[in-house]
Chains A and B, each alone.
Chain A
Amino acid sequence: MAGAALLGRLTWQPAEVVEVVTETDRVRTLAFDVPGWPGHRAGQHVDVRLTAEDGYRAERSYSIGSAPDGSRIELTVERIEDGEVSPYLTDELRPGDTIELRGPVGGYFVWEPALGGPLLLVAGGSGIVPLMAMLRVRAAAGSNADARLLVSSRSWDDVIYREELDRLSGNGLRVVHTLTRSQPPGWTGHARRVDAEMLAEVGPGPAERPRAYVCGPTPFVEIVAGALVGLGHDPVAIKTERFGPTGG
């Protein structure tokens, strides 16, 4: 059940920026206070609406990165250089500003601790955001369900939530990085795009019937989901969320 969506129309609500965190050169986390926020499930998203002075509006959808925390929600946004909305969110918004959002939305690409493990999460770039919400919910619940996270980033400096991922590791969670464009000196980890061999190594294998969540740009998700099917994972157990090159 998608929680609040059952209660009636999702109305636009004012959301005040309370904190801005720089995650990488292109990525910022925006924390909002949304009075009356009904809570959300890990993996859900919100719609964001911006209004110009002359009434012109633009809407986009963003995944929620935070675990439920009262009236606070966090969106982690990557700046798309020619985007209409994301550069405003990442570069212009500051604490005290208010925008509008409505949500939470989506009842499929979600995980909650009661579903248990094993869990196989595969993120391409900022596709990590809804998966991070799952890991944060898992940690908050004290769950030690078997969870693997494979994160594909361009470089070490492009890894979103890097330090927090370090802290969350252990207690059944294994985080594996692959850096596709450049690697720091002495890097001994993966240094190529995600492929079947890497997925097999990260596990869990098909025999353990993990729930797989794959999020990233469309070509990334196509390759990863296809490789998982090729390895023998049940297609029905593979949930995907894609974002296109446009977005904005």
Chain B
Amino acid sequence: MSIVSRGFRGRRDDGADPARIPPGQYLTSDFPVLSAGPTPHTPLEEWTFSIVGEVDEPRSWSWEEFRALPSEEVTVDIHCVTKWSKLDTVWEGVSVDTLLEGIDTTAEYVLEFAEGGYTTNLPLEDVTGGKAWIAFAFDGEALAPEHGGPARMLVPHLYFWKSAKWVRGLELRATDEPGFWETNGYHDYGDPWREQRYWGD
């Protein structure tokens, strides 16, 4: 039941398949930026990626070691909670499955942690089985710092704040721990197709 906005027609000239645009989203060809603070610039020689928490032994990769892992190119649609969606974005990254290979865990949740203390939480099954990557390139170029470079999470089936910029590791957890936006009014899970933007959605 909604109220018709007198004289509003809308644009609708995107030519995109409406089945690819989640409710409340609009298409953009730009790549807007949403960050809570300044863009960090960590030198690559100081960069590491770690897997900690409910694991037999924590693991850590230097940038060089990380880049030596097998990577894949993925083409995915991304959806930001601030309402823009971008289709057919091309990334290159290391699958989270690759990083978790040989790790024995009973964890059911994961907390992504990033530069500056940013965190975001999700069920472990949402980052395994070919659903998530640590991406280091966008459109064939090294990922720009304002977009999360040198490397960011890529979890395209959830709102994009679940894809932490400047990600530095994963904490595997037995329990769910709300992350940064999740404690600031945003939904715990964030499925764009169910429009889970905010608390209570």
- Please report A residues at the B interface, Cβ cutoff 8 Å: 2, 5-10, 12, 14, 47, 49-53, 56-61, 84, 88, 92, 97-100, 105-109, 218, 222, 225-226, 228-229, 235-236, 238-240, 242-248
A108 and B185 alpha carbons, distance in the complex (Å): 9
Q: Say yes or no for B130: interface residue by CB 8 A criterion.
A: no
Given A50-B5, A51-B2, A235-B116, CB of A8 within 8 Å of CB of B36:
no
Minimum C-beta distance from B149 to chain A (A): 13
Of the A-B pairs whose beta carbons lie under 8 Å apart in the complex, a sample of 26, sorted by A's number, is A2-B184, A2-B185, A2-B199, A7-B200, A10-B200, A14-B3, A47-B83, A47-B197, A57-B10, A58-B26, A60-B83, A88-B7, A98-B3, A107-B183, A108-B180, A218-B146, A228-B38, A235-B116, A238-B37, A239-B37, A244-B28, A244-B30, A244-B84, A245-B32, A246-B29, A247-B32
Chain B, interface size category, equals 35 or more
- Least CB separation from B7: chain A residue: A92
Identify the 10 closest CB pairs spanning chains A and B, nearest first. Answer: A244-B32, A9-B200, A225-B38, A107-B184, A2-B185, A50-B5, A84-B11, A246-B28, A59-B24, A108-B184
Contact with A along B131-163 (1 / 0, CB 8 A): 000000000000000100000000000000000
Q: Is the CB of B3 within 8 A of A100?
A: yes
Q: Is the CB of A218 within 8 A of B33?
A: yes
Residues of A near B11 (CB, < 8 A) are 58, 84
- Least CB separation from A224: chain B residue: B38
Q: Is the CB of A100 within 8 A of B2?
A: yes
Q: Is the CB of B5 within 8 A of A236?
A: no
A245 and B31 alpha carbons, distance in the complex (Å): 9
Residues of A near B35 (CB, < 8 A) are 240, 242
Minimum C-beta distance from A159 to chain B (A): 25
- Please report B residues at the A interface, Cβ cutoff 8 Å: 2-12, 24-26, 28-40, 82-84, 116-117, 146, 180-181, 183-185, 197-201
Minimum C-beta distance from B76 to chain A (A): 19
Minimum C-beta distance from B26 to chain A (A): 6
Residues of B near A244 (CB, < 8 A) are 28, 30-33, 84
